[in-house]
Amino acid sequence: MHMMYFTEQPMSAYDAQEGLKYGATALTFSNKHYDPLEGSRLYNEYIEDYLLAEEYGADGIMLNEHHNAPFCMQAKTNIFASILAAMTKRVKIVILGNPLPLAENPVRLSEELSMIDMISKGRLVSGFVRGGGQEQLASGVNPAFNRERFIEAHDLIQKIWTEPGPFRWEGTHYQHRVVNPWAVPMQKPYPRVWIPGVLSKETVIWTAQQRYPYIALNTAIDATKAIWDLYSQTASECGYTAGPENFGYLIRVHVQDTEEKALRNARQFMWMQGEFTGLAHPVWANPSGYFSPTGRRNFVQFAVGRAKNPRGNPTFEDQIASTMIIAGTPDQVIERLKYVVENTRPGIMGIWANDGNVSKEDRQRCIKLLCGEVMPAIKEFGAGLGLKDPWEADAPVHLRYSTDLAQRQAAAE
């Protein structure tokens, strides 16, 4: 089982009352409330946290990006991936992910990712995402073409990584007369690609068709099982059997020496959900054309007060009870995570450990307990269930190249 550490990198150092007064903190909440001095402090603290996670045993560092919102400070995930490629030695650098529809030049993106892979000596996992609804508006991209741009950008990057140039690309959304970048990945045929998501059936089906692992982002256990069923059905139709190496799960977990302190800090997970500062208006999060007509209609009706939130609105206590949030001492967290693992059976697990205003001292204590005590116990439990990660199972397309890369690295050293 592959276990990685994650945080949204929140910009929590601003007046939360201003966010509550405005009613939303994504897209149009003024950046006059952003303090670059505090941002600098937090960026550097997050780097320290990542290095600590590697030191204490995490298998990977998970990175993502959002735009025009304080709940995530990463405006370009490749920048942090580049820093970690140079500063870390062992952990996988897992980008979940680059929002492909926002990329105006997929060739440049392929070069950036190739550089990260080479600098890290083959430790990149390159995840791709469609990007949130408000991201389309923040970047001036037509949300109606989101999925088209995602697929075309993916296909172009995959071709760059697998076929020598020069060649010409004349697509619907991207046109390049000469495609011939000299920065290509160290991993062959290309870095592993993982696709994160919530409940989009179209994305699950496409991911299974590509034989990429699908990472469920903190979905309820029942919903997660439904995702796995759809993925497995599609895999069977494509001629292969899906296993734990195809399934990943991200869950919010906070560990401290006492249950009381863990629960107090875990309540900060509600910070991103809007309990403290508000989030984006549902219409911004789901602009016309971005989702299916049914999904769009449900969110608009919720936005104008004619329907309940289609994603629910569970309280902190509800989420603790349903294990969507886990908090406690290492022993308590291990037992609750075993329940989640046994019922979802992922080969990849991301631990979203810190959010909101959790102090540096408490963040780092959480990381030490999580990576040093909880992760090893869960990995051992997962091994007993036969939950292999992609490297342990190794998909046929990567098996030969993984062996060749290891031999080349050993010879170079």
Coil vs helix vs strand at 275: coil
Residue 170: which residues within 8 A CB-CB, separation 6 or more?
A: none
Would you state the pLDDT for residue 233?
98
- Res. 326: pLDDT tops 60: yes
CB 104 within 8 A of CB 153: no
**Among 19-23, 65-69, 139-143, 329-333, the least confident range:** 19-23
Quick check: 20 pLDDT over 90? no
Give the chain's radius of gyration (CA, Å).
21
pTM of the predicted structure, to 2 decimals = 0.92
pLDDT-derived band of residue 299, with 50, 70 and 90 as boundaries?
Answer: low
* Mean pLDDT (whole number) for 89-109: 97
CA-CA distance, 310 to 103, in Å (whole number)?
A: 30
Q: What phi, psi does 62 have (nearest 5°)? A: -95, 130
Domains defined along the chain, listed by start: 2-70+243-412 (no CATH), 76-191 (3.20.20.30)
Sign, Cα dihedral of 276, 281, 284, 286: positive
Predicted confidence (pLDDT) per residue in 241-282, tens digit: 999 999 999 999 999 999 999 999 999 999 877 766 667 677
pLDDT reading at 397 higher than 60: no
Mean pLDDT of the chain: 91
Residues 302, 291: Cα–Cα separation, whole Å: 15
Q: What is the DSSP string of 78-141?
A: HHHHHHHHHH-SSSEEEEEEEEGGG-S-HHHHHHHHHHHHHHTTS-EEEEEE---HHHHHHHT-
User: What gap in Å lies between CA 139 and CA 320, rounded to an integer?
Assistant: 35
Give the list of residues 6+ apart from residue 42 with CB closer than 8 angstroms, or none. 9, 11, 12, 13, 73
pLDDT at residue 9 above 60? yes
Identity (one letter) of the amino acid at 246? N
